[in-house]
Structure 1
Amino acid sequence: MSESIASESEVSSLITKCIPGIDEPIVKYLQGYLMDAIATLSTTGTLSNSSQANDDAEGEKDENPVNDAVRPILEDCGGKPSNVESACQQISQMLEKAAQIGKQKVENSANGGSNGGPTKLSAPVSMRAQQAQIEKAVRLGQTRRTDLTHAKGRNIASQVDTEKLRKAEARIAAKLQKRELRSSYEASKLIEQSTVDDEELLLKINPILDYTTTRGKSKDINLEDFDISFAGHRILTGASLRMAYGRRYGLIGRNGIGKSTLLRNLSRRELAVPPYISILHVEQEMHGDDTPAIKAVLKADIFREQLLAEEADVNKKLAMLEDGTYLDPNGNPLSKQEIEEKKGEYGNQLNTVLEKLTEIGSDEAEAKAAEILNGLGFKSTDFEKPTRSFSGGWRMRLSLARALFCKPDLLLLDEPTNMLDIPAVVWLEKYLATWPNSLLVVSHDREFLDEVATDIIHQHSERLDQYHGNFASFWSTREERRKNQIREYETQMQYRQHLQDFIDRWRYNANRAAQAQMKIKILQKLPVLTPPDDDKAVTFEFPNPDKISPPVLYMDEVEFSYSAERKILGNVNIDMQMDARVAVVGPNGAGKTTMLKLLVGHLQPSSGLVHRHGRLRIAYFTQHHVDQLDVNLTAVGHMTKQFPGKSQEEYRRMLGAFGISGMTGLQQIKTLSGGQKSRVAFACLAAQNPHFLVLDEPTNHLDMESMDALTEALKAFKGGVVVVSHDERFIDSVCTEMWVCADGKVTKFTGEGIKEYKNSICPP
């Protein structure tokens, strides 16, 4: 019966027309699901049949295949809203037609079928479907085998392979039992990867090379026509990457597009980077142990460490030759002549080692390491502290310091400014601006990219587009390039249509056949262009709270100390109303996060008063917000756990307000990118319907579109906002006043904006 409503090819064509280039497994999956739904509806008039008893018991009787399954998958696969809506309407019409046929059949069976009178069929009868149902009934013992007999009396043998039918029914039953299609769609699920110690990984992917052996060799990187996939999810297709030695490249793109995956493939040499080019990827905090911080940085230069070890070994052997304790391999002492020969051999070896140490500036290494640590915010008293004594954020800085110290040929940085305060960001900008080797950095900080990048690489639509200049230059030329691409695509499509019209008209005309064949060859040789992608607008939305009368939130002479010897804050006086837009700035470790915790009530002051209105609801976004998420659950599952009592549609709507839609909401949180995890955390804040949003570094991990969306959402929010951030553009756009947390005090900044504050602490 389903074949008279829609064939498999029609359903497949409808899906591929909606999303050209959609993965074949997804097409097959949707095709099977829809054909099964059509078959069920055309037989019973409803999806609530016996094969769905388990689903019905779970309260899923009112299933809508289009809204529950088809639409989310098409949207998540990148379908244009207009195309998705059109496809869903056509599929709904198919399902409605099938349901009408099924209901008519049920009514005919109940009313007219038992009276022996003729019954008018609402649609042609599919003999094959009838025979398949009879075969199933025979196998289940519900009836005896009966051959369908044609009107003329001929026996029609069944063409159904019962074994294949049994397997197909088992597959359909499994699909029907799991009504949430997302649990079976795992194409975008990321795999947990084991982490490796930085030093171990550096040794593995960068064979120890004498620096002098690479002289004269080109250290440019030129990768052509490569693909990258991860856990079944296509990241790049036919991409090209060209990096000239000494240039600094900024890699940008939306959250979840695969930027970190590209860096990981480069660092592990899964792409054809020349073997003599050393690579270092800073992506995780270093392992903590008893090694002093400055020693951990010095050890990062493995070539230097090897030379120092060789120097120590040669000096030891020379000392043994001097005191006569040097023995040959058989354990016998050497003769005077042999001793002199060995002294000459080891003396030459020592001179070679010392020359190499001088060449790499080994004597200045400790001063250089100290300069880097100071620039990244470490005090001189921290240099001898063991690395295990530092928190995760400071260990991340140590990883960055190690990378800057050993100066690999290609340095890969993934969001290096996330753990830095404004002084450290300014220092890093200046340091990288003079970086002599190649640099590829993932960042969404536009000011940082303007200061550091000489080129921009834009990752999108499974390809890489390269632009000369910093981010400001990229932003001004990107739209012009996109307009040119649209014009080129439209011109080619018109030319293609012109050729095709000529071919269709004259292909079978004897007089014009040769010309038509020539046009066919021209058409085949035309390069295939893809239409420029329409950038989906990213929007965030926080619900506006009910108004409450002042005083709303204030701190009066607040002091806080962890101990008598460790005073963090003192004499803090702040008054905020519902229209507050406050930025809290200051160096790391000055107490900014402590002040936020005092505001929200996670810490109690040692003295003084923190007043919060009795009806005040505060939503707090922590710097380590991932720790507040159950990463083993899906985004919808986490929302259900945190805010029970709502329908799944409500949870999905709340997540959708922050860009977590379709399949993404039903992936495990641990498989999401950092920016997607932040969006889930924002949805949890919105679910609390807060009067005040207290945000600690909310822009970390967000892509530029999401940062813009967050900016607009906070500007439209009718409640109060308190934010700790180092992003200049974000602070300037959102906040109307700044408070500086430093030296145990919190004082209002009287200057004009974040730029003036930045210049006051880091003069240009």
Structure 2
Amino acid sequence: MISINNLTFEIGARALYDEANWHIKPGEKIGLIGANGTGKTTLLKMIVGEYKPTSGSISMAKDLTLGYLNQDLLSYASEKNILHVAMEAFERQNQLHTEIENLLKKLETEYTEELLHKLSDKQSEFEALDGYSIEYKAHEILAGLGFSEADTHRQLSTFSGGWRMRVMLAKILLQAPDILLLDEPTNHLDLPSIQWLEDYLKAFDGAVIIVSHDRWFLDKVINRTVESRKGKLTVYAGNYSFYLEEKALREEIQRGEFKNQQSKIRQEERLIERFRAKASKAKMAQSRIKMLDKMERVDDVDDDNPSVNFTFRFSKQSGRHVVTLEHITKKYPAIDILNDAEAIIEKGDKIALIGANGRGKSTLLRIVAGADTDYIGKCETGHNVSQTFFAQHQLESLHLENEILRELQSFAPRHTETELRSILGSFLFTGDDVFKKIKVLSGGEKSRVALAKALTADANFLVLDEPTNHLDIQSVNILIQAIQQFEGTVIVVSHDRYFLDNVANKIWFIEDQKIKIYPGTYAEYEVWNAKRKIEQKAAPVAPQPKKEEKKPEPVKQPQSENKTQQLKKLNQDLAKMEQQIAELEKAATELETKMADDKIYTDAAKLKETNAAYQQRQNEVKALKQKWETLAEQILELES
């Protein structure tokens, strides 16, 4: 599909890529990884033609179609509703639809054989391009990305940047290009939408290249990993976990080769020194010197996985109960978030607060942190609790005239400069970077400074809202290590499942306006929740958990007798649905035959009316078939 040969790209005196090579094959699902600054986004921009390489070539078939999602799309503006924006993906179908409407209108006043033939050709092409189902497809993709039916009628300009990015992703997916290039596609998605996107990309027929710091997402989707490092592109034939194992093996071999070569070099140097003093051996010494000069040196292995070398400090231990929530009710004009909800955060808890956007995660986090007091009920902080709250809005509290290091020194005077430099290095501020003023930093860099500040606070309770945003995989690993060795209490909101699985020992989620608790890791929660969903489908009317329960218990399997009754009812519903589909298809065929009838064909008004009815029947068939598939899946689950 795409061949990258001897690619060199220079920025000033620095070569971002130096004679790099890579061949992308049809159907490959590729994760493009590497530390920040190694040129991943630059490479995608060269593939789509936005940047030109200094030398080398990127070649591809002329008819190859590319779909490129990048953060620049946040600036896209439109006053049209998001359904219309998403359907802009169907350029040819939209053009044909407009032409068909114009021809039908023209036939009302001007009837000619030529116009009828044109209309027939346009309708045939429109049907061949599956034009009657494009609106259904757009609704399906937007729903998967978290938009409600009401949302589809809202103007794009009324949504926040993150939600606008979802619309642009929907548009690109609807284009169904030969190859998708996705730069941090999960940045603005919540967990349900990320899981939907995973399933979509796994089923996608074309090739995919993903730049992402979300290890869990990469493991679920990709079957190839390409590492951008030191100007080269190295291919690994597996997902991210495979890459880690394979790279460790390659590095072990390289480390052994390096040690052996260094031993040989030292031996040769000793011989040269011994022979150089003897006139009879001088020629041999010169020969060995030349041999050493020509030797292709094996590089030692660089440590790309720095470990945390600072420790959290807090001056006092908290009491057993860190935060107690009693009878919390929180409402907004358009939505009820919590209703008489209760929960307790205990000393040593490391809680992941998860769920879809709009369910109240950040609101609950602000209540816990004391940043939101507009609610009914009681939120009580326990004895000796000292907290620090990290959220994106806290970037505003940074002192713009301060240098980065000075900002941390003024906030955490008990830490040494070496410790603060170590923390800043973990968040990509190395060397003289620490002397940059806050005012010259980008939004992402400011976010990393604010997170570094949070980790230096004299606090035994950390409240973290999306702390992994703007961090690369190495920095996420540093944050994981830091929280793992933190002896206090943590509650965190994040959509990075690898991060959550490695830091959390409890899962909180909001359901039925209550705080539900799962006592385990995120991976264990996912298994439990998947099983629970299957059981809920099998037994739709499940008993509600008792009010005093703090954690949900899995729904009991239905008795075999109930299961038999359930299957009987579902199969009856399936049969009815099959009959409805057959009737609709028959109606659509009759309408198609009518449109070929001279009486209809020669009457523009009747032709337009019949054509509209035909399109309606086609849409109804599509929707009903989708329901049939869902029902069939339920039956298979019960029968298994």
Q: TM-score under structure 2 normalisation?
A: 0.71
- Report if aligned partners of 1:256, 1:675 keep a CA contact under 8 Å in 2: no
| AA in 1 matched with 2:331 | S
- The CA distance in 1 between the partners of 2:439 and 2:45, in whole Å, is 18
Q: Higher mean Cα deviation, 495-504 or 632-641?
A: 495-504
The answer for the alignment partner of 1:258 in structure 2 is: 39
Pick the aligned partner of 1:732 from 484, 498, 501: 501
Distance 1:507 1:307 in 2: 89
Note if contact 1:728-1:754 (Cα within 8 Å) is conserved in structure 2: no
Corresponding residue of 1:546: 316
Distance 2:526 2:431 in 1: 40
Q: What is aligned with 2:590?
A: none
Summarize deviations over 1:364-408 as a string: whole Å, max 9, x none: 211111111111111122111111222222222212211111122
Displacement of 1:456 in angstroms is 0.4
Q: 3-state DSSP class of the match of 1:552? A: strand
In structure 2, the residue matched to 1:281 is: 68
Which residue is equivalent to 1:433? Answer: 202
CA 1:254–1:368 in 2, change beyond 3 Å: closer, same or farther? Answer: same
Q: Paired residue for 2:601?
A: none
Residue identity in the other structure for 2:526: K
Residues 460-513 of structure 1: CA deviation (Å, up to 9, x unaligned) = 233221101112222221111122233444556667778888999699989997
1:458 maps to 2:218: no
The yes-or-no answer on 1:759 pairing with 2:530 is yes
Higher strand share: 2
Q: How far off its partner does 1:559 sit?
A: 1.2
Distance 1:494 1:749, change over 3 A: closer
Cα gap change, 1:733/1:524 in structure 2, threshold over 3 Å: closer, same or farther?
closer
Deviation at 1:632, TM superposition (A): 8.4
Distance in 2 (CA, whole Å) between partners of 1:747 and 1:717 is 25
Question: Per-residue CA shift, 1:623-679, capped at 9, x if unaligned?
Answer: 566566577865336547877999977864663575633123234668778875554
Quick one: which amino acid aligns to residue 300 of structure 1?
A
Write the letter of the residue equivalent to 2:29. R
Distance 1:497 1:552, change over 3 A: closer
Please give the per-residue CA displacement for 1:535-562, whole angstroms capped at 9, x wherever unaligned.
3514264323412445532221111123
Aligned residues: 523
Q: Name the residue aligned to 1:384.
A: 153
Partner secondary structure for residue 153 of structure 2: coil
Counterpart CA distance in 2 for 1:359 and 1:507 is: 87
* 8 Å Cα contact 1:287-1:388 kept in structure 2: no
**Structure 2: which 5+ residue stretches go unaligned?**
535-636
Kept in 2, the 8 Å contact 1:502–1:516? The answer is no
**1:597-746 equivalences in 2 (<5 Å):** 597-613=366-382, 616-622=385-391, 634-636=403-405, 638-639=407-408, 652=421, 655-656=424-425, 660-667=429-436, 677-746=446-515
Q: 1:645 to 1:478 in 2, by over 3 A?
A: closer
Distance 1:323 1:657 in 2: 73
Q: Does 1:297 align with 2:79?
A: no
1:562 aligns with 2:349: no
Distance 1:388 1:567, change over 3 A: same
Higher relative contact order (CA 8 A, sep 6+): 2
Contact 1:254 1:703 in 2 (8 A): yes
Q: Is the 8 A contact 1:226 1:237 kept in 2?
A: yes
Are 2:165 and 1:396 aligned?
yes
| Correspondence list, 1:489-500, <5 A | 489-490=258-259
- Superposition pairs of residues 216-615 of structure 1, within 5 angstroms: 220-230=1-11, 233-267=14-48, 268-271=50-53, 272-274=58-60, 276-284=63-71, 285=74, 287-309=76-98, 319=107, 323=110, 343=114, 347=117, 354=123, 356-490=125-259, 520=290, 529-539=298-308, 541-549=311-319, 551-563=321-333, 566-613=335-382
Distance of aligned partners of 1:597 and 1:492 in 2 relative to their CA distance in 1, 3 Å threshold: same
**Contact 1:751–1:757, Cα closer than 8 Å, also in 2:** no
Q: Is the 8 A contact 1:256 1:672 kept in 2?
A: no
The 2-side partners of 1:277 and 1:616 are apart by 59
SS of equivalent residue, structure 1 residue 698: coil
SS of 1:323's equivalent in the other structure is: coil
Percent identity of paired positions between Structure 1 and Structure 2 = 29
Q: Compute the RMSD of aligned alpha carbons.
A: 4.0
Distance 1:446 1:651 in 2: 27
Instruction: Indicate how the Cα distance of structure 1 residues 231 and 361 shifts in structure 2: closer, same or farther if over 3 A, else same.
Output: farther
Whole-angstrom CA distance in 2 between matches of 1:390 and 1:459: 35
Q: Distance in 2 between matches of 1:509 and 1:276?
A: 70
Instruction: Please state how far the C-alpha of 1:243 moved relative to its aligned partner.
Output: 1.2
Conserved 8 A contact 1:561-1:569: yes
Residue 731 of structure 1 aligns to a residue in which SS? Answer: helix
Once residues 688 and 511 of structure 1 are traced to their aligned partners in structure 2, the CA distance between those partners, rounded to angstroms, is: 67
Verify the 8 A CA contact 2:180 2:207 in the aligned structure 1: yes
Is the Cα contact below 8 Å between 1:248 and 1:455 reproduced in 2? yes
Task: Determine the C-alpha separation between the residues in 2 that align with 1:740 and 1:248.
Answer: 32
Q: 1:512 to 1:619 in 2, by over 3 A?
A: closer
- 1:416 is paired with a residue whose SS is coil
**Deviation sequence 1:23-53 (CA, Å, 0-9, x none):** xxxxxxxxxxxxxxxxxxxxxxxxxxxxxxx
Question: 1:422-480, CA deviations, whole angstroms, 9 ceiling, x for partnerless residues?
Answer: 22222111110011112111123232222210100122233221101112222221111
Assess, with a 3 A threshold, how the Cα gap between structure 1 residues 712 and 492 changes in structure 2: closer, same or farther.
Answer: closer
The code of the aligned residue for 2:132 comes to: D
Aligned-partner Cα distance in 2 for 1:706–1:356: 52
Indicate how the Cα distance of structure 1 residues 418 and 507 shifts in structure 2: closer, same or farther if over 3 A, else same.
farther
Cα deviation, residue 594, structure 1: 0.3
Secondary structure (helix, strand or coil) at the match of 1:380 reads coil
> Which letter does structure 1 place at the counterpart of 2:366?
K
2:339 aligns to what SS in structure 1? strand
Residues 412, 641 of structure 1: CA spacing in aligned structure 2 closer, same or farther, 3 A cutoff?
A: farther
Cα distance, 1:361–1:273 mapped onto 2, change above 3 Å: farther
Q: 1:658 to 1:474 in 2, by over 3 A?
A: closer
CA distance in 2 between partners of 1:566 and 1:315 (Å): 45
For residue 591 of structure 1, report the CA deviation from its aligned partner.
0.3
Q: Deviations over 1:303-342 (max 9, x none)?
A: 44445455556667x649x639xxxxxxxxxxxxxx87xx
- Give distance in 1, aligned partners of 2:399 and 2:91: 39
- The verdict on how the C-alpha distance between 1:693 and 1:647 changes in structure 2, with shifts beyond 3 A counting, is closer
Structure of greater Rg: 1
Do 1:461 and 1:533's aligned partners in 2 also have CA atoms closer than 8 Å? Answer: no
**SS of the residue 1:383 aligns to:** helix
Name the CA shift for 1:719/1:514 in 2 (closer, same or farther; >3 Å).
closer
